[in-house]
Each structure stands twice: as C-alpha cells, then as structure tokens.
C-alpha cells in the first residue's frame, strides 16, 4: 500500500515509540546516504555528511546496530561516513560489510556484462551537455543533475534501445540519475533483510527502522513495512511505501539526535 509523501505523518510523531524501543536495545537503524545523511549536491564527489552527523551517528552506533545503505560503491560510502564498527551496504546492497569481519558480495557474475556495455553508455552520455557516465563496482551511473530540464526524456530515449534485447542488465531511474545494474532479484531491501538475519543471532525482536529519500529506498520500505518503521525524506506527491516522512537532511539530523538523547538518557 502506498500514499503520497506529502500526506504522511511527520516521523517525530513516532519518536516516542522508536526511542522506547531503542532504550531496550530493540532497534536496528538503516540509513541511506545521499539526500538523507548528506545534502544533495550537483557533483556526487562533493557530497559529505551534514554538519553534526558524525558525532550523532557515532553515538547511535554505540547503542544499536546501525547500517548505511547506499547506491555508492562500498569503499566510497565508508570513506564519506568514516565510522568504524557499523554495517555498510554499497552498490544498492550488492556489497555488504559489517563488524567482526562480516563481508558478502552479490552480482559479481554480471561484471563482464557491465564491461560489455560501458563504452556504448559513455558515448551516449557524451552526446549531452552536463551529463557524465560513472562506472561503479556493480553498476553504470549516468548523472544529469546539471543538465537542461528536457535531458531526462531525451537521454532515456537514447538508452532504451540498448536494453530492447538485453537479458543480463536492467536500466533503472532515480533522482537525476539513470543506473544500469545486474538484472536479478537483489536490492536494498534484500540487503537490509540479510543484515537483519545476521543480527538475529545475537539480538531478538529487532525493529528495523529505515530512512531514505530515493526511489531505490522504496524497495527497502516495501521489504520491511510489515515489521518495521519506514521514513521517507521529502515533501512531494510521489507515492511511497513509507509510513512517515521527514522534510530534509536537517530534519533527519534532528530526528537522529533526539533518538540518541533518548537512548543515552539514564
């Protein structure tokens, strides 16, 4: 079941429920990076944690399982967050690392397929002004945030023929980005469920809480909506599987700070 983001209740209305569960050690917190922990910027390489979040995340990580789940490559997002002892899922969950040496990878069999199509995608991106192609470990990204407003439709039209008979890769849309990823059933929601399985060995009755802003986060919302709390960042009319919303990155920071206060209180 979905609803427009703007119609959802503010996540602060669920703060008492989340805070009480966190104090009992019953929360596992999953966070997107871009647009959730870091403001959206025109150039992906310029993204950084919002001011104050390093300390907040470090504190939360001492009290509960915490994971950053990003479309960025694993090493990229780990470097931008910079906190040891957390779970990190990169490439939309295709690579996962966590405490005690936990490490898993999915989709490696599709790397040759990305190699096969990379040159064609880069050539198409070069036809447009202010569009760039980026090779990630498990994806090809085409960024057009700085391009003219009509670029998305024209770019989609140029990319579509590459996938008319493609059996191994799939084209996905996002916020000012297209991504080409392995075409098999693995995504952020699968990665979240896998991390919960790992955590269940040491903790019981964990409530997953996922906060994210992008279309790829919807798969995580859908995966845990029955047994977790899903919070989307934004205020537009897009349909979402989330049950709560926060307006923007500063609101996320304030919300996480309030959870930390409740968790740390004597």
Residue 202 confidence (pLDDT) above 70: no
Q: Report the pLDDT value the prediction gives residue 258, as an integer from 0 to 100.
A: 96
The rounded distance, in Å, linking the Cα atoms of 44 and 256 is 24
- Would you identify the CATH topology of the domain 3-106+186-264? Rossmann fold (3.40.50)
Looking at per-residue pLDDT, the higher value among 25 and 31 belongs to 31
Mean pLDDT to the nearest integer, 219-239? 95
**Can you give the pTM of this predicted structure?**
0.94
CATH 3.30.70.1020 domain residues, the chain: 108-182
| Residues with a known catalytic role | 32
Q: Report the pLDDT value the prediction gives residue 204, as an integer from 0 to 100.
A: 60
Q: Considering only CA atoms, which of 119, 115, 117, 125 is closest in space to residue 156?
A: 125
The tens digit of pLDDT for each residue in 141-159 reads 999 999 999 999 999 999 9
Q: Are 116 and 163 spatial neighbours (Cβ–Cβ below 8 Å)?
A: no
Residue 203 confidence (pLDDT) above 90: no
Residue 240 confidence (pLDDT) above 90: yes
DSSP letter at 91 equals: G
Mean pLDDT to the nearest integer, 188-197? 96
Kindly report the backbone phi and psi dihedral angles of residue 116, in degrees, each rounded to the nearest multiple of 5, phi listed first: -60, -35
Q: Report the pLDDT value the prediction gives residue 174, as an integer from 0 to 100.
A: 87
Q: Report the pLDDT value the prediction gives residue 265, as an integer from 0 to 100.
A: 74
Mean pLDDT to the nearest integer, 221-249? 96
- 217: which 2 tokens? 């986060």
The tens digit of pLDDT for each residue in 93-139 reads 999 999 999 999 999 999 999 999 999 999 999 999 899 999 999 99
DSSP letter at 134 equals: E
Mean pLDDT to the nearest integer, 207-211? 97
CATH 3.40.50.1000 domain residues, the chain: 3-106+186-264
Q: Are 254 and 52 spatial neighbours (Cβ–Cβ below 8 Å)?
A: no
pLDDT-derived band at 56 (thresholds 50, 70, 90) equals very high
When the pLDDT of each residue in the chain is averaged and rounded to a whole number, the result is: 94
Q: Which residues contact 11 (CB under 8 A, 6 or more apart)?
A: 211, 231, 244, 245, 246, 255
Percent of the chain with pLDDT over 70: 98
Residue 2 confidence (pLDDT) above 90: yes
Domain range 108-182, CATH class: alpha beta
Can you state the angle between helices 53-61 and 249-264, rounded to 10 degrees?
Answer: 40
The rounded distance, in Å, linking the Cα atoms of 65 and 206 is 9
Residue 168 confidence (pLDDT) above 90: yes
Q: Report the pLDDT value the prediction gives residue 201, as an integer from 0 to 100.
A: 72
Mean pLDDT to the nearest integer, 49-72? 97
Specify the 3-state DSSP secondary structure of 235.
Answer: coil
């Amino acid at each position: 079941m979905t609803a427009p983001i703007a119609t959802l209740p503010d996540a602060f209305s669920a703060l008492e429920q989340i805070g009480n569960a966190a104090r009992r050690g019953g929360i596992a917190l999953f966070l997107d990076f871009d647009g959730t922990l870091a403001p959206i910027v025109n150039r992906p390489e310029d993204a950084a944690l919002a001011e104050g979040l390093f300390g907040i995340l470090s504190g939360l990580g001492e009290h509960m399982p915490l994971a950053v789940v990003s479309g960025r490559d694993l090493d990229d997002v780990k470097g931008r967050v910079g906190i040891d002892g957390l779970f990190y899922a990169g490439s939309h969950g295709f690579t996962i690392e966590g405490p005690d040496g936990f490490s898993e990878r999915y989709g490696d069999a599709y790397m040759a397929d990305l190699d096969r199509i990379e040159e064609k995608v880069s050539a198409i991106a070069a036809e447009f002004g202010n569009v760039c192609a980026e090779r990630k470990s498990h994806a090809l990204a085409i960024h057009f945030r700085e391009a003219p407003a009509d670029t998305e439709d024209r770019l989609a039209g140029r990319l579509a023929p590459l996938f008319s008979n493609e059996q191994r890769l799939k084209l996905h849309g996002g916020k000012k980005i297209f991504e080409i990823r392995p075409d098999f059933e693995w995504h952020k929601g699968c990665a979240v469920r896998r991390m919960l399985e790992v955590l269940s060995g040491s903790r019981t009755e964990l409530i997953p809480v996922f906060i994210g802003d992008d279309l790829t986060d919807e798969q995580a919302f859908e995966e845990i909506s029955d047994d977790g709390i899903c919070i989307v960042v934004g205020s537009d009319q897009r349909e979402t599987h989330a049950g709560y919303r926060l307006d923007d990155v500063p609101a996320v920071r304030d919300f996480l700070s309030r959870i930390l206060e409740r968790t740390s209180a004597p």
